[in-house]
Amino acid sequence: MKSLVTTADIPAAKRFAFWREAVCHRFAQVECSPLSDRPFAGEIATTRVREVTFSRVRGLEHKCDRTPLQIRQARDETVFINLQVSGRWWSTQDGREAVLEAGDFACFDSTRPFSGIQSRDFEQLVIHVPRDLWRRRIGPTERLTARAVRGDTRLGSLVSGGLRQLTSVAEEKAGEGSHHLVELLLALAATGWGELMEEQESCQSSGRSALLCRAKGVIEENLHDPDLRPDQVARLLKISTRYLQELFRKENLTVNHWIWSRRLDRCRRDLADPLMAGRSVSQIAFQWGFSDFSHFSHRFKAAFAVPPSEFRRQQRSAA
């Protein structure tokens, strides 16, 4: 079964509203908002093969969020495999972030909140796999979500190419050999994320995982401190800075990056919160540890593709 949804025949002023309703709400059940004043354009071609949906999504820059409300209202539980064909996709889930360039891919679980930003004109393949099928064949998603697998590595290139081929075959021959298509997809998924699972099991004992959680908790409690640095976090945990850095490196993170990303997430949350409307953008930035407004504005735009003041305006308009 194939379908195509496009904004091509929709008046420019109504395109994003159409996209939000026809695609974001029905297709992925996420809340979307535009990131520029350009007239929006987008299309999504979907092909259903047994219980799996293959989709090719093209469009302009925009943001999407999977919220707790949408999770409660959802009828299905799904794992999304997102493969970036062009453009750049910045996303977060389970306290991690994945930045996907062309050829990279990652997975996301519909049963927990996530956010994503397409920062420019893009094309992305999105494969919907029933969550129970994924868990039976691949295992739990908690350790795998928002972990980018790079398409320029030997294994990543193999899996990325395979996912593209499977999507093309599904588009051309929907219904033919469907059992084999689904089996090939699951085999590729096991290959793509199996190495991540093995790495985590071999490199992270339960003690390290617990200590990493404590480190993230310490950072969360001290985000307001503009002088918060890795050595301060290590001192509070009574471990060496080198060991702290190693804990984060196992998750493809750095301590500094985690501190700044959490500050930006808190600022973004407050800028979107109607209850914080009485506080200025700079007050919110300083509250979460930024000591220089121009530095904050630069980092915010780099992370979310829009200046903080414009982001707040968009959120108010959407509300």
Residue 201 has pLDDT above 60, yes or no: no
**Average pLDDT value over all residues in the chain:** 87
Domain 2-202 CATH class label: mainly beta
Q: Name the nearest CA neighbour of 191 among 146, 152, 158.
A: 158
- Model confidence at 71, pLDDT cuts 50, 70, 90, reads confident
Residue 52 has pLDDT above 80, yes or no: yes
List the structure tokens of 316.
């108010």
Tell me how far apart the alpha carbons of residues 276 and 258 are, in angstroms, rounded to a whole number: 24
pLDDT value of position 200: 56
Q: Name the nearest CA neighbour of 118 among 61, 167, 166, 51.
A: 61
Cβ contact 177:184 at 8 Å: no
Percent of the chain's residues with pLDDT above 70: 93
Write the DSSP symbol of residue 30: -
Tell me how far apart the alpha carbons of residues 277 and 56 are, in angstroms, rounded to a whole number: 38
Higher pLDDT, 194 or 163: 163
pLDDT value of position 213: 79
Does the fold of domain 206-318 match that of domain 2-202?
no
Residue 31 has pLDDT above 70, yes or no: yes
Average pLDDT over residues 73-94: 91
Residue 227 has pLDDT above 60, yes or no: yes
Average pLDDT over residues 255-269: 91
pLDDT value of position 156: 87
CB-based contacts of 92, cutoff 8 Å, min separation 6 = 98, 114, 115, 116, 146, 265
Average pLDDT over residues 221-240: 91
CATH number of 206-318, picked from 1.10.150.120, 1.20.1370.20, 1.10.10.60, 1.10.287.130: 1.10.10.60
Domain boundaries, the chain: 2-202, 206-318
- Model confidence at 24, pLDDT cuts 50, 70, 90, reads confident
Residue 110 has pLDDT above 90, yes or no: yes
pLDDT tens across 272-305, in order? 888 888 899 999 999 999 989 999 999 999 888 8
pLDDT value of position 107: 94
Residue 101 has pLDDT above 90, yes or no: yes
- Model confidence at 199, pLDDT cuts 50, 70, 90, reads low
Classify residue 180 as left (phi > 0), alpha (psi -120 to 50) or beta: alpha
Edge-to-edge strand list for the sheet holding 62-66: 31-34, 62-66, 114-118, 89-93, 96-100
